[in-house]
Amino acid sequence: MSLLANLNPEQLAAVTLPNQSALILAGAGSGKTRVLTTRIAWLIQTGNVSPAGVLAVTFTNKAAKEMLTRISAMLPVSTRGMWVGTFHGLCNRLLRAHHRDAGLPQLFQILDSGDQLSLVKRVLKSMNVDENRFAPKQVQHYINANKEEGKRASEAEAYDEFSRRYAEIYAAYDEQCQREGAVDFAELLLRSFELLSKNEILREHYRARFRHILVDEFQDTNRLQYRWLKLLTGPGSVIFAVGDDDQSIYAFRGANVGNMADFERDFHVENVIRLEQNYRSHGNILDAANALISNNRKRLGKNLWTAAGHGEPLRVYEAQTDGYEAHWLAEEVQALNRDGLARREIGVLYRSNAQSRILEHALFSAGVPYRVYGGLRFFERLEVKHALAYLRLIASSEDDSAFLRVVNFPARGIGARSIEALQDAARAGKSSLYLAVPKLAGKAGNALGAFAAMIEALRREAAGLALPEIVEHMLAKTGLLAHFQAEKDGADRLENLKELVNAAALFVQEEDGQQDLAAFLAHAALEAGEHQAGEGADALQLMTVHSAKGLEFQAVFVTGLEDGLFPHDQSRNEADGLEEERRLMYVAITRARARLYLSFAQSRMLHGQTLPKVASRFLDEIPAGLVKWLTPRLGALPLHEPVLASARDSDIPKSLPRATQMGWRIGQNVMHAKFGQGVIVDAEGQGPDARLQINFGRQGMKWLALEYAKLRAA
């Protein structure tokens, strides 16, 4: 069968391009991998290049393996000698082959992120640097950021005493790496770039060898990667760049979408081919994606289409609260599964990791098997486990495992020797580690004593606080919040810690005012148990939108579509931040093959309080004709009219106005002398006839006459 069989006209044009640098704008689901691999196979089959003359760069090892497998299936050639891999993998191969020229030992070691951080800490200690001023993770980020810009320590910005000290640490770190014969990930690319820059003979050798350079996910390249590719491109070589500027969502990792426009200019690209036919999604989904992304100004431009028909409209669900949103989602997933759709074919996407907590809770309660793709479940996340360990110590000083987890986190100068001495004292006295603290003297005894005193103070202070306040107080007093605030990449961890306050508030609400810390810890342990589905099981897939890139599902739920959440608040402070968020939404939409749900809540629990939210502006950017509201559009009905039923019947309220005329707000938490804490879910009437419907948890739903109810804000 011909290699070119079953290619559409644009794919055929891309595969058979003449030997000129080209840019292939490949939309989501347009057969990008097929075009890349077929291009390589066609070049080899037609004698334009030998297998050894191809350099193909991908962003994941998985993509590289898939590419080699497909080429092997197309052609009877060995792929062993082909240079197909990630930037880091190919640079490692180059440096191994020319380690002497690169100034490296033959068996140099590659440091992963954890190893690199350990080395940074050793360097800081050897230089007597105060880790409170120069946090190890911040230093690590500084070093990597400079390397990704192609800057050594001597070229790093040093305009005051603080920045000069950073540069000195960077220089000392580089010296230590050289002594130990070790390279970090950023060093692989920088050292490879320097090698080719300085060694003309080597550079010309590889330029002559690699006549065809193919790059996947070109929109995700950073500046140094682009410069590395330019170095390898000689007068007789061409670059076949495949990418989608509309799916550039990794600016926080250094990705520079501007590389695509620079490539067009630098390489005088005459061949720009747009792969716009989509083989994944139905028409309504693509039309929504096209309409949304058209609001971005800096685009190269393309318009996805499909021959598969319009399909179903996008379903939009407006929930009263985030809890109702999660409950509705669990019910809808169960209904889809009953209708014959496998759970593994359903993806649930959210903007921020912290959002998974409320969803996991609802799925756990409903008995829906799920897996968190590419991440940990909420109660398994490191920062959450640290926080729970502190709470366990407040609840019981006998908990040795909790003690060991947090005694030196954040760092308090309590080292392994001090812990060993404490363990010996505890064994001798047959007591817990906590109770053995007074038996230690000297510096170790002082540091451990200060830690125990902090726990005692927290225990005393907790006695007069509500459960969510205990959690909030603990996060502040233990230094956990401050620790992650100081981290460059600590934003997600901070959100997860703040979400723990919400978890405590929800626990109180669901357990009829239960404020017992031990009961909450038991609840957390149960939800952290074995409910997550095992490998290979038919399970719902939960993930952030970033993790969803490259995946597809029959049905997709995009949740939490509220301004401040998606688009995220942080985007306001970043150049082109909103455009990046819109690209992220574009990626979310284009994960769906047949059915797409978009949901948001009128109120969401933040920091233990229920706060009003506004629907995401992205919803307004989707044409109304493509959308089916499962709930009435906000404000479309008078307060007293019955709520319309969704596509699937549910006992959850389907739509509520943002506010009443009575001084109370839908979604507001209230207290009643008899029924306790509740949340307002509906309202009707005016003046003396005004009534509120309130959900009192275990006490159930109640309609109360406002004149006699004597409600107060909770």
Distances (CA, A) of 282 to 167, 233, 539, 593, 627: 53, 40, 24, 6, 14
b/e code 35-55 from CB counts within 10 Å (16+ = b): bbbbbbbbbbeeeebebebbb
Distance, in Å, from the CA atom of 514 to the CA atom of 488, rounded to the nearest integer, reads 37
Residue tagged active-site, from 33, 45, 60, 515 = 33
Tally of CB atoms within 10 A around 73: 9
Residue tagged active-site, from 247, 631, 660, 677 = 247
- Active site includes 184? no
CB-based burial label for 327 (10 Å; 0-12, 13-18, 19+) = buried
- Active site includes 274? no
DSSP 615: B
Instruction: Please give, one letter per residue, the 3-state secondary structure of 163-213.
Output: HHHHHHHHHHHHHHHHHHCEEEHHHHHHHHHHHHHHCHHHHHHHHHHCCEE
The encoded tokens of residue 503 equal: 């978890």
Residue tagged active-site, from 10, 11, 32, 541 = 32
Residue tagged active-site, from 137, 274, 280, 591 = 591
- Active site includes 591? yes
- Active site includes 651? no
Tally of CB atoms within 10 A around 458: 18
The encoded tokens of residue 195 equal: 């090698």
Distance, in Å, from the CA atom of 633 to the CA atom of 657, rounded to the nearest integer, reads 10
CB 204 within 8 A of CB 130: no
- Active site includes 33? yes
| Among candidate residues 382, 406, 608, 390, the one with its CA nearest the CA of residue 487 | 382
Residue tagged active-site, from 10, 184, 187, 216 = 216
Distance, in Å, from the CA atom of 232 to the CA atom of 696, rounded to the nearest integer, reads 68
Distance, in Å, from the CA atom of 324 to the CA atom of 326, rounded to the nearest integer, reads 5
- Active site includes 247? yes
Helix axes 185-198, 223-232, angle to 10 degrees: 40
Residue tagged active-site, from 217, 246, 580, 682 = 217
Catalytic residues: 32-33, 216-217, 247, 591
